[in-house]
């Protein structure tokens, strides 16, 4: 069923009816730098929270940085503003979470939570595993407060990483090359030690102890998984991709268990890129041996899972040309003629949501190219850098298409972003 989007309150009525009572709604994005994807995802999420009782938003972000935002939106922190609460996002790409759309959504979450009892407030959590050193620091800080002797043991174990100046990639390269003994045993031992004392820590720490222990435990688990991730990232894309998405899916399951109450099951909205949200079994990725969060959610939670993808034809995007380079406001090339994006463009409906029913399956039968822009955009090699084959009607349960999109606005736009006219960054056709 195709429903035009007119910017009205009833835009997503059909989508919400189709979602029904599902407990997991995973909402994607076709790039990490598109305003409309963030804005429309927030619109859907707000309705899921207000009308369907969803109690958490879990995002493609590091656990400790997102948890600072969680404390802010739940009125449990000293941060004075959403901007300040988001200041923990210092790692590239900062614009992915430090942008105007996320600030607006975080402010909205805090506002609605202010009118709710503490146990009914909506949380904001991170699923990713890049924050090795930040998570280590969080584990030690927690133990300093509840068990100083255990904190000393944790410092001794985590000292294995001290020689790399907080550079996770340097650790991974040295471990992969056999230049050092890996820190695997130490991080696993620390996670086991923390879990063995869980009841003791929760029992002695008073109100909120369960949440604080859960935060520390997830950081310790993240440290163990991040150590393995950085060690394997030099072994090939498939192994590191699968480890990362397995970690995110496991964190999502841990959240479902932690947020469950005797009178209700937890309901969570997930925000991640299409490549993580869409079922990998329906894509070229899956045939190459990769799995992802959307596939694992369907396998683990079945009909409780609903997957929403985003699509765009042209416009502008916030991205970098290479890793760790400044954000630019780039022109997005019109989609390739043989792509789903071009097919949607030919429908002459500038904005719509398409829920996958029998009619949609017939229209979208077979495979086509689909575009994926992450934090890097290389239009000069776009076909090979940003397209893969997919059977999109099996990859998602619904698709939101925005034909002409605009670049996400970073909180700290640099000179490469603020130029009056975004430059054509590709010098020739591909």
Model confidence over 417-430: pLDDT tens digits?
876 455 454 433 33
Q: Per-residue pLDDT tens for 380-413? A: 999 999 999 999 999 999 999 999 999 999 999 9
Cα dihedral 10/15/21/22 (nearest 10):
-140
Per-residue confidence (pLDDT) for residue 277, from 0 to 100: 98
Per-residue confidence (pLDDT) for residue 205, from 0 to 100: 57
Per-residue confidence (pLDDT) for residue 125, from 0 to 100: 98
Mean pLDDT, residues 81-109 = 96
Per-residue confidence (pLDDT) for residue 111, from 0 to 100: 98
Q: Per-residue pLDDT tens for 215-227? A: 999 999 999 999 9
Mean pLDDT, residues 231-239 = 79
Mean pLDDT, residues 278-288 = 95
Mean pLDDT, residues 257-273 = 94
Q: Per-residue pLDDT tens for 156-174? A: 999 999 988 888 989 988 9
Q: Per-residue pLDDT tens for 130-142? A: 999 999 999 999 9
Task: Indicate the pLDDT class of residue 203, thresholds 50, 70 and 90.
Answer: confident
Per-residue confidence (pLDDT) for residue 425, from 0 to 100: 45
On whether the CB atoms of residues 382 and 427 are closer than 8 A, the answer is: no
- pTM, two decimals, is 0.94
């Amino acid at each position: 069923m195709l429903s035009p989007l007119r910017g009205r309150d009833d835009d997503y009525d059909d989508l919400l009816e189709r979602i029904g009572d599902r407990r997991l709604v995973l909402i994607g994005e076709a790039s990490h730098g598109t305003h409309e994807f963030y804005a429309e995802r927030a619109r859907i999420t707000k309705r899921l929270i207000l009308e369907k009782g969803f109690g958490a938003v879990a995002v493609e972000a590091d656990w400790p940085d997102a948890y600072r935002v969680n404390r802010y939106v739940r009125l449990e922190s000293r941060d004075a503003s959403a901007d300040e609460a988001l200041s923990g996002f210092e790692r590239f790409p900062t614009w992915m979470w430090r942008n105007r759309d996320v600030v607006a959504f975080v402010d909205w979450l805090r506002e609605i939570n202010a009118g709710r009892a503490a146990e009914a407030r909506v949380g904001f959590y991170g699923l990713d595993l890049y924050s090795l050193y930040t998570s280590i620091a969080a584990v030690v800080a927690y133990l300093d407060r509840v068990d100083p002797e255990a904190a000393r043991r944790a410092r001794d174990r985590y000292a294995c990483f001290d020689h790399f100046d907080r550079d996770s990639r340097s650790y991974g390269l040295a471990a992969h090359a056999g230049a050092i003994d890996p820190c695997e045993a130490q991080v696993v031992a620390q996670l086991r030690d923390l879990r063995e004392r869980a009841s003791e820590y929760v029992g002695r720490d008073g109100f909120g102890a369960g949440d604080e222990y859960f935060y520390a435990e997830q950081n310790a688990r993240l440290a163990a998984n991040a150590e393995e991730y950085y060690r394997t990232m030099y072994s090939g894309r498939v192994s590191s991709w699968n480890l990362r998405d397995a970690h995110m899916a496991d964190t999502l399951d841990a959240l479902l268990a932690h947020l469950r109450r005797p009178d209700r099951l937890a309901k969570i909205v997930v925000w991640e890129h299409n490549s993580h949200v869409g079922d990998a079994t329906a894509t070229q990725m899956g045939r190459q041996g990769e799995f992802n969060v959307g596939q694992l959610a369907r396998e683990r939670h079945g009909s409780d899972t609903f997957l929403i993808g985003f699509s765009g034809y042209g416009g502008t995007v916030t991205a970098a040309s290479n890793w760790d380079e400044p954000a630019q406001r780039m022109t997005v090339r019109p989609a390739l003629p043989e792509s789903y994006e071009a097919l949607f463009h030919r429908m002459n409906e500038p904005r719509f949501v398409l829920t996958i029913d029998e009619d949609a399956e017939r229209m979208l039968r077979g495979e086509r190219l689909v575009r994926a822009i992450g934090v890097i955009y290389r239009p000069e090699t776009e076909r090979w850098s940003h397209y893969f084959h997919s059977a999109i009607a099996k990859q998602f349960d619904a698709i939101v298409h925005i034909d002409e999109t605009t670049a996400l606005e970073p909180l700290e736009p640099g000179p490469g972003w603020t130029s009056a006219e975004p430059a054509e960054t590709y010098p020739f056709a591909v």
